[in-house]
Structure 1
Amino acid sequence: MANQPVIFIHGLWLHASSWQPWIDLFTAEGYAPVAPLWPGEKDTVAETRAHPDDVANFGIDEVTEHFAKIIEAMDIPPVIIGHSFGGLITEKLLGQGYGNSGVAIDPAQIKGVLPLPFRQLKSSFPVLDNPANIHKPIALTYEQFKFGFANQLTDEEAKELYDRWTVPSTVRPIFQAAGANFSLHSQAAVDTKNGDRGPLLLIAGGEDNTVPEVTTDATLKLYRDSNAVTELITFRDRGHSLVIDHGWRDVATEVLVWLGQQGLED
């Protein structure tokens, strides 16, 4: 896979630099990875925290188009790997014909996913309880991060990750995903029937409060009408922090193994 580009797409509330351990590992394995910033995001966590208004009010389509332009500038179609809302964007891009394969880790719910567990509602409530939040940059409190991301971690590790990686975020995508099944032209819609797309791997965390396992299982079922490869791996004891916590390498290794099985061109 020498020089095969990889584009990492983070989700809400984490900075792009949180992918750095993955970038180092994928580089060592011969890939050419990058983790671009979201619209309005600054080069560092500190700068992004200092300019929260710059990240506000971007929706799913705007963010998807942002990454599509980055991919269009690449000489070789990349592997697209996303976490949380980055996973949803990965699905959208792959369905639109971008990339040669995709990995959606704990992907936010797309249009057509019906299960809505209480813990998922509880995770989103600090945003959805006030409709005016749709226009604002929102930062998680430590308690919200602990419940939504780090429920499987010690307080010590959770606090370290919170201090190191979290940033304010646009929350418009959360409102769009929450109302997706009531909107004819929802931005959370994905072309799950596309049989010409590259292979897709979905990854679920069995103890994820933000995107519960049942949500990812339901996502997989929406791909049943596509002939393209769609597979699911579940890490039973992992929460939403699985891409940044002490066990990130286990997840990354499974992704590397899966990519190696897809017969992608160098």
Structure 2
Amino acid sequence: MLEVIDKGCVSEAHPVPLLFVHGAWHAAWCWNEHFLGYFADHGYRAVAVSFRGHGQSAIDKPLRDCTVDDYVADVKSVADSLQVPPVVIGHSMGGLIVQKYLETNTAPAGVLMASIPPQGNYGSSLRWLRRRPGQAVKMAFTGKSLQYINTPAQAREKFFSANTPEDVVADCAARLQEDSSRVSVDCLVLKLPHPDRVTTPLLVLGAEQDGAHTRKEVRATARAYRTEAEFFPDMGHNMMLEPGWEAVAERIHGWLGDRGL
């Protein structure tokens, strides 16, 4: 059983539900802090899923063995339970999962927020190796990474801007959990997206103070999907939790409204 947080209802103005897909080490809670309520208040049905083994979602095999295909199947399971195909909105690793989902599933629109690019997570992994070579080597051998991101200082470096209040950073750090080592390999080389298979219109958003994905990588994502990237200043990787999250939500709301969604 997958954990699904479901808020709001579809409306005449917004007849299509929104399905939010979290990134590595997170769960549906990261959308529930601000985004689900915002979109529910604006007349949408807003749904967030926790991948298997994340949040309150059950799992039937070791987490370390979960694959990108497993996470795509989780998204599809929730999407198929809705009355109509939802808009899919993915953050970070969840952005890669959304890209893979859209290769074989239809959606009226999609949003990629600070997403892993179609070229994979090579750039982010290499930067981690250069900055913290000891951590990177230990992660490669043990398949465990949580201990390197779950203190406030580590979480701020990866996920937040320097201006984010300490309580926001500390709360996120305390909620992070281990993720699949197999998925990290999939995102590096084994299960990279094929943009040529995706016909869904995409909105590509980036954060100027992103500690995970560079502006160049976000622009490459947008280019692959024949669009232009949009960036938010003074914002870190966790765009749905950062101060200024309202501007991100408003941009998505406006973009969807322009498409009658």
Matched, 1:191 2:200: no
Please identify runs of 4+ aligned residues in structure 1 that moved more than 4 A: 112-125
Deviation at 1:37, TM superposition (A): 1.3
* Counterparts of residues 45-194 of structure 1 (less than 5 Å): 55-111=63-119, 119=127, 121=129, 126-127=135-136, 129-134=138-143, 136=144, 138-139=146-147, 140-142=149-151, 143-154=153-164, 156-163=166-173, 165-178=175-188, 180=189, 186-188=190-192, 190-194=193-197
Deviation at 1:68, TM superposition (A): 1.3
Rounded to whole Å, the distance in 2 between the matches of 1:112 and 1:56 is 19
Q: 1:25 to 1:97 in 2, by over 3 A?
A: same
Deviation at 1:54, TM superposition (A): 5.8
Rounded to whole Å, the distance in 1 between the matches of 2:132 and 2:110 is 26
Deviation at 1:109, TM superposition (A): 2.9
Contact 1:128–1:175, Cα closer than 8 Å, also in 2? no
Rounded to whole Å, the distance in 2 between the matches of 1:92 and 1:71 is 14
Q: 1:122 to 1:86 in 2, by over 3 A?
A: farther
Listed one character per residue, the Cα deviations across residues 124-178 of structure 1 (whole Å, up to 9, x for unaligned) are 86356432333x4734231321211124334624543335542222233222223
Q: 1:114 to 1:148 in 2, by over 3 A?
A: closer
Listed one character per residue, the Cα deviations across residues 4-52 of structure 1 (whole Å, up to 9, x for unaligned) are 21110000122211211211111111111111111112439xxx9xx9x
Q: 1:27 to 1:164 in 2, by over 3 A?
A: farther
Rounded to whole Å, the distance in 2 between the matches of 1:105 and 1:4 is 20
Rounded to whole Å, the distance in 2 between the matches of 1:200 and 1:210 is 21
Rounded to whole Å, the distance in 2 between the matches of 1:240 and 1:124 is 19
SS at match of 2:49: coil
State which of 47, 50, 62 in structure 2 corresponds to 1:34: 47
Contact 1:124–1:210, Cα closer than 8 Å, also in 2? no
Listed one character per residue, the Cα deviations across residues 155-202 of structure 1 (whole Å, up to 9, x for unaligned) are 624543335542222233222223x2xxxxx312x231236x221011
Contact 2:219–2:228, Cα closer than 8 Å, also in 1? no
Q: Report the RMSD for the aligned CA atoms in angstroms.
A: 2.9
Partner residue of 1:216?
218
State which of 230, 238, 246 in structure 2 corresponds to 1:249: 246
Contact 1:138–1:170, Cα closer than 8 Å, also in 2? no
SS at match of 1:7: strand
Rounded to whole Å, the distance in 2 between the matches of 1:117 and 1:37 is 24
Gaps of 5+ in 1: 181-185, 225-229
Deviates more, 1:242-251 or 1:77-86: 242-251
Report the AA paired with residue 102 of structure 2: L
SS at match of 1:104: strand
Deviation at 1:104, TM superposition (A): 0.7
Contact 2:18–2:87, Cα closer than 8 Å, also in 1? yes
Rounded to whole Å, the distance in 2 between the matches of 1:202 and 1:124 is 29
Partner residue of 2:10?
none
Report the AA paired with residue 173 of structure 1: V
Matched, 1:11 2:19: no
SS at match of 1:4: coil
SS at match of 2:18: strand
SS at match of 2:65: coil
Report the AA paired with residue 167 of structure 1: Q
Deviates more, 1:55-64 or 1:113-122: 113-122
Q: 1:248 to 1:155 in 2, by over 3 A?
A: closer
Q: 1:117 to 1:16 in 2, by over 3 A?
A: closer
